[in-house]
Structure 1
Amino acid sequence: MNHTIPLALSIAGTDPTGGAGIQADLKTFQEREVYGMSVITSVVAQNTIGVQDVHHIPLDFIESQLKSVLSDLPPHSVKTGMIATPEMMEMIAAYLRNQSIPYVLDPVMVAKSGHALMDPASQDIVREALVPLATIVTPNIPEAEILVDFQIQDLYDAQRAAKVLVEELGAEAAVVKGGHLKGEAVDILYVNNRFYTFPSIRTNTKHTHGTGCTFSAVLAAELAKQKSIVEAVSIAKKFITDAIRYTLNIGNGNGPTNHWGYRLKNIPTVKGENHHV
């Protein structure tokens, strides 16, 4: 059956408090007027303070979920978030190789605390099996440093990293998110031999839980609607800037972003500047 409504699939872990993971992705898909679906890789007991426990879904049941979705409601885009083990990654990669749809890779590799969430073997699988399949990969600075194996201290380094992710590791496009750098929050996109720069205001808030999930979910939604990569990143940057700016102020720790923040007030559109490499 052909579906005229854009469908987006998230493959990720959960967050029972709704700020990150599958729950954040589905909220984001809804806000972007895309029908959202999910395959759960891990059930996570977490809140705004931290992660208390994790249960990884058995590999054969993750595969059953994938088969159920793909056989009935084939998506127009897919994104991956938390994929905990090399075995999960390799199985999911095998399915992605057979899909001719946009794939957004959010490489969930480093916790907000700075602690690594993957061992070196898992990091290698992300680099070797998932990045080459990605339409766009969306690391923050610590994740990009792991993937490209050098420190990122400024925008020039971020450009180098984005270029390596595409030209050496095989992604179609890469956006290195600059929230961990000083000054403006500047994201660097590299696609089709061009750099695009997406600056935004920096909001003084601790409520940034789930920003990476939400940003990549917007990308998946817009690509499902057949937007270009540059358009999708511009929309995602605006969406997440508003989600951080118009904080909900909930939770005892690092609270979630506001998935309807963009509706609260019109602020200037984030514009991408580009130049040839």
Structure 2
Amino acid sequence: MVNEFPQVVTIAGTDSGGGAGVMADLKTMQARHVFGTAVVVAVTAQNTLGVQDFMAMPTKLVDEQFASLAADFKIKACKTGMLADAGHVHNVVENLKRVDFGPLTVDPVMIAKGGAALLASAAIATVRDELVPLATVVTPNLPEAEALTGLKITDTKGMIAAGHALQALGAKNVIIKGGHGANPQTASDFVLLADGQSFWLSAPRTNTIRTHGTGDTLSACLTAELAKGVPMATAIQTAKGFVAAAIADTIQVGHGHGPLNHWVQPSQAVTKYVN
């Protein structure tokens, strides 16, 4: 039974404010009853008001973190988040090719909630050409999907087109998150599965600015469910429900875009409907 407990890894940057990045990932993983580990690619000076500074780790240290985890843990699923620049994206890709960390969730983090860039613009092509093709599932929001596909997304047809474009790039499963959409009542995500099936997930919007780390939390929850062997469609629906509940059951932390409530007991209704 040694090493049989579900173990996962987040490959991302830290958030000194605790609401996003590696910190949000580990909190979410713990809440979903898997054991979380981390490869730290960058360190940020960050709070709910914004990102003041960040520094990427030496790639040698990133290599050593991958090797250290592979030597001891039985990682069942993994995810990427903030990867800083093209060199570090490429470095992470090369490491992922060397190890077997199970299904890969790619959260193509580009911009922090407060507007700070977390991925150099020159690295977008590297994410598109090298990382996305490795993805078991990719989880962009609307601006990220536009950056990766070159498409302008203004409606549901645009979301569907972006989903198919990302699948054509090599991602097996795609979630186009609709949180940046214009509907004031609901946030709807388009899901395209590897077998060609598609559906929408919709949850009521909560009127709050306390949404820091939403994308990290969704991708971390999804990664945790995949590590437990949950089927992809069910894992995606669980992740959507967890995030909706963590936003709705707010906690008052910080003076800006506050964090989610990662110890929430999900009961938030999520509507699933087939396109």
Range class of TM-score, shorter chain: over 0.9
CA contact (8 A) 1:110 1:142 kept: no
Indicate the residue corresponding to 1:107 in structure 2: 108
Instruction: Give 1:77's aligned amino acid.
Output: A
* 2:56 alignment counterpart: 56
Q: Unaligned regions of 5+ residues in structure 2, if any? A: none
Per the alignment, residue 242 of structure 1 pairs with 245
- Any idea what SS the aligned residue of 2:265 has? helix
Match of 2:191 among 177, 189, 202: 189
Percent identity over the alignment is 42
Q: Is the 8 A contact 1:16 1:47 kept in 2?
A: yes
Instruction: Confirm or deny: 8 A CA contact 1:86 1:125 kept in the other structure.
Output: yes
Paired with 2:133 and 2:91, the residues of 1 have a C-alpha distance of 15
1:73-127: CA deviations, max 9, x gaps? 0310010101012121112111222426100000001232455443442000000
In 2, distance between residues paired with 1:161 and 1:262? 32
TM-score after normalising by structure 2: 0.94
1:135-214 alignment, distance < 5 Å: 135-166=136-167, 168-183=168-183, 184-191=186-193, 192-214=195-217
Which amino acid in structure 2 is aligned with residue 247 of structure 1?
T
* 96-105 or 154-163, larger mean C-alpha shift: 96-105
Whether the aligned pair in 1 keeps the contact of 2:29 and 2:220 (CA below 8 Å) is: yes
Q: Distance in 2 between matches of 1:149 and 1:114?
A: 20
Following superposition of structure 1 onto structure 2, how do residues 1-277 of structure 1 map, counting pairs within 5 Å? 3-98=3-98, 99=100, 101-114=102-115, 116-166=117-167, 168-183=168-183, 184-191=186-193, 192-262=195-265, 266-268=267-269, 270-275=270-275
* Counterparts of 2:66 and 2:160, CA distance in 1: 35
Mean CA deviation greater in 249-258 or 107-116 = 107-116
CA contact (8 A) 1:140 1:179 kept: yes
Query: 1: CA distance between counterparts of 2:274 and 2:262?
Result: 28
What amino acid is the match of 1:85?
Answer: D
Checking the alignment, whether the CA contact within 8 Å between 1:247 and 1:261 is kept in structure 2 is no
Asked if the contact 2:63–2:95 (Cα under 8 Å) also holds between the matched residues in 1, the reply is no
Contact 1:137/1:174 (<8 A) preserved: yes
Aligned-pair CA distance for 1:47: 0.2
Q: Amino acid of the residue matched to residue 27 of structure 2?
A: K
Q: Is the 8 A contact 1:245 1:261 kept in 2?
A: no
The count of aligned residue pairs is 271
Q: Which amino acid aligns with 1:125?
A: T
- Go from structure 1 to structure 2 and tell me whether the alpha carbon gap of 1:196 and 1:2 turns closer, same or farther (over 3 Å shift): farther
Report if the CA contact (8 A) 2:45-2:51 is conserved: yes
Quote the Cα distance in structure 2 between the aligned partners of 1:76 and 1:228. Answer: 14
Q: Which amino acid aligns with 2:187?
A: A
SS at match of 1:175: strand
Q: Which runs of 4+ in 1 moved over 4 A?
A: 113-116
Q: Structure 2 CA distance, aligned partners of 1:251 and 1:79?
A: 27
Q: Is the 8 A contact 1:159 1:195 kept in 2?
A: no
With structure 1 as the length reference, what TM-score do the two structures score?
Answer: 0.94
The question of whether the paired residues in 1 share the 8 Å contact of 2:18 and 2:24 is answered with: yes
- Tell me, in whole angstroms, the C-alpha distance in 2 between the residues paired with 1:110 and 1:15: 13
Q: How much does 1:170 deviate?
A: 0.6
